[in-house]
Each structure stands twice: as structure tokens, then as C-alpha cells.
Amino acid sequence: MPDIIQLLPDHVANQIAAGEVVQRPASVVKELLENAIDAGADTIKLIVIDAGKTLVQVIDNGKGMSVTDARLSFERHATSKIQKAEDLFNLHTKGFRGEALASIAAIAHVDLKTKQEKNQLGTFIKIQGSQIVSQENIAANIGTSVAVKNLFYNIPARRNFLKSSTVETRHIINEFQRVSLAHPSIAFSFHHNDSEVYNLTAGNLRQRIVAILGKKTNEKLVPITENTDVVKISGFVAKPEFAKKKRGEQFFFVNNRFIKNAYLNHAVSSAFDGLISNGFHPSYFLFLEVPANSIDINIHPTKTEIKFDDEKTLYAILRSTIKHSLGQYNVAPVLDFNRDASLDTPYNFKHKSSPSTPKVTVDPSFNPFKKEEQKSINFPFKRETSNWESLYTGINVENIEVESEAVNSSLFSEEKSAAKTYQVHKKYIVSSIKSGVVYIHQNLAHQRILYEEFLENCTVRDAASQQLLFPQEISFSKTDLNLIVEIKEDLENIGFLFGTFSNENIVVTGIPVSITESQTTIIIEQLLDDIKNDIPDTSFSQLDIMAKSLAKSLAIKTGTKLDAKEQEEIVNKLFLCKQPDVSPFGKKTFVTIALEEIDKNFNN
């Protein structure tokens, strides 16, 4: 029997490795930006075309590479970051695996230009599908430029699995924000399809956060600082009143590397207990500095998951540090046993004279145990009550009409017969039908009603808007503002009206009649998040997701008490819908229990 195990060709092995390292264009952005940082660059430029499908290029002013290093950088497991296995547990760099460039080159066309300061000329290498097409000396600036073109050109199946340009661009922006937040001392710029998305100058962390998320963010930040033998914590959390429905602005960095950790996220959330409402999440930008040998980074190809030696201690320190900072900056109440703030002298009374002591006079002859003589009072009738009937002499009792409400059996009968629906546990509406009983989920049913109303407003008739007496000015990040401009017409179709647009703010002059003024910011933020994460590039799909998002946000919540009229309105409107049996997200809105099924429970 012939041997069946064989070594894979290098180009196949590289494509397999690429499947782990390069999942989408954003993965290429992350790897190239990290390589530029490891090269010591203080200015990095990212250029993206067609959401990274056509081009991802990173240009840096780092130390560059020699001719030999440029050639070796595209070999598998070739790296300058580690020499021995022990180095994996003492890492101070980003890309240490040595797979990134080799994996990228296996599935794209790559152009590399690099030059060191000591060399007169630089090196230009052209690679297609792991094969070096050409190599030559050229005039170049100090540093490195890597251009990745036509990603997944030789794996069309992988290319077909990419999402829309809107979604892929969102992932690229996320990676860019994470890397630029981790290194505020480096200047970053980001261009997409010949338009500038970000131009971030070098500065401190607060300046970098404000530059990415907008000027209004500055007033939201509470600084966090703690230095212990176990961990050094720094960064910012947002004040509780600025908590959001989504988790978009939550950033953890361990040794300047972005990570995801549900356990540490719970520590932050628990520090905000009692300060934010259910369903809302705090924003934070936290940097943890721990000994390199106390963590294991090499557990996932994307290097966003980390194992800690002692997570419980980190949890306790992080939670107490945030609670202390919130209290220190008067965001949350703190216990101070040295003074009582309620006893502090008000500012207006500090310089006033002390109040005089009130005079008290005492009657020395007063005896509380001495019986007082009853004073005679002249009543129009005698005080004796033995002949009390004489008080009513001359009054004909039979002619007296007393105003009273007659109590009879008909008092409650009308109310009982009028009830057509009943609410159970503030969650379900129960109504009887000919064949049995129907249980309606009030939240899901209302979602279906609102969803079809919003769709009809967008496509058939004009949506009703309510003008705001005082227009609202809302601050958004630059990327969110660009998205609002793109979908402005669709937002107006569902009832929003806008005034002026600036670099960071929009003015809302009107809102749909179904929402309140206080909900405006939350609704728009949730709409933007849903569009960025779930929407294809078709106009109808955007309208559909807007209708779904609004319906979910505005539907009557579980736990809301409904009167009889509200219950009947939901029942009647639900069964007038085109598809009443499911919510916009495919869940059942009602369940019918036949009379025979109920009878079975009593016939056993």
C-alpha cells in the first residue's frame, strides 16, 4: 500500500496560515500597523481603497530593512522579535509570530519599498501569491511602505465571504482606533477612497481620545490612576450619565496591546453598580501594565486574548480603583468618616455674625398636676344628654332626603363584562377566541406593529414629524457623522428633521412622533450601530434595519402595566399587520392554546 501522508507545498501551507491570520482586510491593517510601530516609526499613514479589497497600504518612517531582511520578511516564521521559546513569555513587541507578511503575500499582490538611513538606495520587492516577481534598488524615503493589493485574488471563495464595504470599513476603522489609542505619542493618518478619515497628531491619551471621538468627549472623562506591585492602571472612564446602550467605546490595553476580556469587563461594570440603568454600558479607555512574564499572549492568532497569572487580584484592584476615582471626582458618593458634608456652613453665611441665643421665660407658678376649674360655657342648649331626642323635635324625618349611592349587584357587573383582555405578569396579553385562548407577547407584538408602521412611512406615505421647540445639538465622531450624511434622506423618511451639519455636531429640529426628545440621541446612536454592523449596501436593507432598530427601541417593554384600552389596541393592531405571527427578528408574537388542549388537563 503506497504512503498517503505527504508534506504540503509552501504556497498551500501559507494559504492555510493566512486563513488564521488574515480573516478580512482589517486583519491586514492590524498586522501592518503593528509592524510599523515595532519598526520605531513616529509617523504612520494608512491608505485604503474599496474597504481594503483593492488596496491596503501602510507607510511609516521607521528604521527600514536591509536587502536581506526585506527578502526574509516574507518567509514563514521569520521574525526579528524572538530568538528562543522563552521569549514568548517576555514579549515587548507586537508582531512576534513571523507569519503576517508570509500569510498576506500568499493571498494578495504585495509591493514592498524599504530603506535604511545608512543606505543610499532602498529596496523594492514585488510578490504575487508567495512568488517573488521582481526585486530592484530604487530611490526611497527612510522607512517602509507595504501595499497589499487585490486581497484574496487567488481564493475567490474567501473573497465572497467578505461583508459589504460599509461593514468592512467599520472593521478597519475599529482596528485603526485600537492601534492609535494604544500609541498616542505616534502621529497617525487614515485615508479611505481619497478622502481623509483621521489625521491624528502626537499627544497624550486624553488628546487622542478627543481627536478620535470628538471634542464633546473631553467633558465625559474621569481619569483613573493606580500603581501597585501587581498592576499599574491608567486611563479614563466616562461619567455614568454618558453610558450607552452599545459596548462600542470599551477599550482594554495590556502592555499597550488591545485585548478582549469578559472577566475584567465585568469588574468595570460592577464598579458602576447603582450608577447606570440596566441595559446601558459604561465607556472606558483603560491601560493595564503588568510584568511581561505574568501573561500569555500566544493563545490566539489575532492576539486579542490574554491569560493572566492572577485574574482575581486584577479584578479586585480594577474595580476598587474605578469606584475610588468616581468618588474622588464627585461622580459617585463616598464614605468619609472625618466630616459630615451636610453640616458644612453654606458659602453665603460664612461671614455673617453668629445668631443670638433665644430668650426663654418660665412661669414658676405653673403646676401641670393641678386640676383646672372647668370654665362655664354658654351653649344654646343644655349639656345633659339624657333627653337627646328633644334636640330633634319638630323635624319630620320622613321628608329628609339623604344623598347616597345605591349599592346593588349592577355596580360591578358592567366592568366585568367589558373586559376582553387580561394582562399576565406584565408580559403577556391574554384574550379568548372561539377555538380557545391566545397568549400575546406584548413586547414582540408591539415590535411587529411599529416595524410595519415605520416601513409604511418610509415607502408609502410621508412620516409624521414633531417639530422641536428647542433644536437639539448632538455630538458624534467624524466617522459617525459621515454615515449620518449618507443615510440622511432615509432618516428624514422615518420622521427625523435636521438643521445644520458641522465637523462634529448635527442639529436635530424634528423627530418622529413615536419617540420623545430625551430618546433622540440614544435612538440615533443605536441606528448607527445597527447600520455599521449589519447592513448591506442596498437602500431597502438600510430602511429595513432602521425600521427594525426603531421598533426594538420603542416597543413596550416587558414589565410595563397596560390598561384595558392599551391591551385591546395592541391586539387589534397586531392582527391587522401583514405578518402578525412573528416579530421583525423572527420570534413568535403569540401562541394559541385550543380549548381541547385545556380540557385534557382536567380529564386525566
In sequence order, what DSSP letters do the residues of 239-307 get, joined into one string?
-GGG-BSS-TTEEEEETTEEE--HHHHHHHHHHTTTTS-TT-B--EEEEEE--GGGEE-TTSTT----E
Q: Which residue has the higher pLDDT, 345 or 59?
A: 59
pLDDT tens readout for residues 12-22 = 666 665 555 68
pLDDT score of 527 more than 50 = yes
Give me the pLDDT at residue 411, please. 36
- Measuring CA to CA, how many Å separate 149 from each of 129, 133, 170, 234? 11, 14, 19, 39
Give me the pLDDT at residue 410, please. 39
Q: Which residue has the higher pLDDT, 301 or 600?
A: 600
Sequence-distant (≥ 6) Cβ neighbours of residue 439 within 8 angstroms: 424, 428, 429, 430, 590, 591, 592, 593
Give me the pLDDT at residue 338, please. 45
pLDDT tier for residue 418 given thresholds of 50, 70 and 90: very low
pLDDT tens readout for residues 28-44 = 999 899 889 988 899 99
Give me the pLDDT at residue 146, please. 94
Mean pLDDT of the 451-468 span? 74
Share of the chain above pLDDT 70, in %: 75
Q: Which residue has the higher pLDDT, 337 or 259?
A: 259
pLDDT tier for residue 550 given thresholds of 50, 70 and 90: confident
Are the CB atoms for 496 and 508 separated by under 8 Å? Answer: yes
CA atoms lying within 13 Å on the CB side of residue 195: 7
Helix (H, G, I), strand (E, B) or coil at 465: strand
pLDDT score of 455 more than 60 = yes
pLDDT score of 349 more than 70 = no
Q: Which residue has the higher pLDDT, 334 or 601?
A: 601
Q: Which amino acid is at 401?
A: E
pLDDT tier for residue 412 given thresholds of 50, 70 and 90: very low
Give me the pLDDT at residue 334, please. 47
Give me the pLDDT at residue 148, please. 94
pLDDT score of 188 more than 90 = yes
Give me the pLDDT at residue 144, please. 93
* CA pair distance 547, 490, nearest whole angstrom: 10
pLDDT tier for residue 347 given thresholds of 50, 70 and 90: very low
* CA pair distance 405, 314, nearest whole angstrom: 70
pLDDT score of 566 more than 70 = yes
Domains of the chain and any CATH numbers: 10-200 (3.30.565.10), 205-328 (3.30.230.10), 429-590 (3.30.1370.100)
pLDDT score of 360 more than 80 = no
- β partners of residue 508: 472, 498
Count of helix runs (H) and strand runs (E) in the chain: 17, 22
Using alpha carbons, select from 220, 205, 225, 221 the residue that is nearest to residue 321: 225
Supply the pTM of this predicted model.
0.66
Other C-beta atoms within 10 Å of 11: how many? 14
* CA pair distance 365, 363, nearest whole angstrom: 6
* Mean per-residue pLDDT of the chain: 78
pLDDT score of 589 more than 70 = yes
Give me the pLDDT at residue 594, please. 86
Give me the pLDDT at residue 80, please. 58
The label of the residue with cell 477599550 reads 251
Q: Which three cell numbers stand for residue 53?
A: 479589497
The label of the residue with cell 474622588 reads 328
pLDDT tier for residue 542 given thresholds of 50, 70 and 90: low
Share of the chain above pLDDT 90, in %: 22
Using alpha carbons, select from 215, 307, 228, 256 the residue that is nearest to residue 33: 256
Mean pLDDT of the 122-140 span? 90
Are the CB atoms for 235 and 285 separated by under 8 Å? Answer: yes
DSSP 588: B
* CA pair distance 430, 331, nearest whole angstrom: 45
The backbone region for 556, taken as left when phi is positive above 0, alpha when psi lies in -120 to 50, beta otherwise, is beta
393 burial level (CB within 10 Å; 0-12, 13-18, 19+): exposed
Output phi, psi for 321, to 5 deg. -65, -45
Query: For the chain, how many residues are written?
Result: 604
pLDDT tens readout for residues 253-302 = 988 888 888 888 889 988 888 888 777 888 999 999 888 777 766 555 55
Handedness of CA 379, 385, 386, 390 (dihedral sign): positive
* CA pair distance 196, 20, nearest whole angstrom: 30
Give me the pLDDT at residue 584, please. 87
The backbone region for 490, taken as left when phi is positive above 0, alpha when psi lies in -120 to 50, beta otherwise, is alpha
pLDDT score of 78 more than 80 = no
User: How far from each other are the two terminal CA atoms of the chain, in whole angstroms?
Assistant: 67
The label of the residue with cell 351653649 reads 379
Give me the pLDDT at residue 452, please. 85
